[in-house]
């Protein structure tokens, strides 16, 4: 990729967020990033909105503000903060939110199974690293069919627990009819994403 081919992020050089744009554009020019989106909001107002680089370099698809990213484990602190808001509202299940947040709920990950006949594999649970095409709701239904690896609260194991918490947050927002979710000051437009 040549520097001249990279879509630079446009910005007002006098804006308070100009240094962010300068760093982003420099990283693109130096090929340390392929593409990025920067959205900064305060009190519901957009302070900085910028998309630059490629969403798909090989296909030459430019990055856009609404490009969907795979967050993987980066989503854990955001989902955890949203769940803590639900706890503050007094909603908790048989497996506690604390156990889900601390990965002591008895859940696991498919990629940790020793062979492809493990309970997560047989149930068709997606660990997010595959291209299963199933949505979060269907994956949660599959997780619910798998026996717990241990009694909740008795051991620790990195797991799909935060996916379960994400499902709780999503369900809570859908049942409240929200189109916008505010989590730690981050606005995220409600869309159906394959997880």
How far apart CA 28 and CA 7 sit, in angstroms, is 9
- In order, the DSSP letters of 45-103 are EEEEEEEEEEEETTTTEEP-TT-----GGGHHHHHHHHHHHHHHTT---SS-HHHHHTT
CA 13, 16, 22: angle at the middle one, nearest 5?
A: 50
Catalytic residues: 73
């Amino acid at each position: 990729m040549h520097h001249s081919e990279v879509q630079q992020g446009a910005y007002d050089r006098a804006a308070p967020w100009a240094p962010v744009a300068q760093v982003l554009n420099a990283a693109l020019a130096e090929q340390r990033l392929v593409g990025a989106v920067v959205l900064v909001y305060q009190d519901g107002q957009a302070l900085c909105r910028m998309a630059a680089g490629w969403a798909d370099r090989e296909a030459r698809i430019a990055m856009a503000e609404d490009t969907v990213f795979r967050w993987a484990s980066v989503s854990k602190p955001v989902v955890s903060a949203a769940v803590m808001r639900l706890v503050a509202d007094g909603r908790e299940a048989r497996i506690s939110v604390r156990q889900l947040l601390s990965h002591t709920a008895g859940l696991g990950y498919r990629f940790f199974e020793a062979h492809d006949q493990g309970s997560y594999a047989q149930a068709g649970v997606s660990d997010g690293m595959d291209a299963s095409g199933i949505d979060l709701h269907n994956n949660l239904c599959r997780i619910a069919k798998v026996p717990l690896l241990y009694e909740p609260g008795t051991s620790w194991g990195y797991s799909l627990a935060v996916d379960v918490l994400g499902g709780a947050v999503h369900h809570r927002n859908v049942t409240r009819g929200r189109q916008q979710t505010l989590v730690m000051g981050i606005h995220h437009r409600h869309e159906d994403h394959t997880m």
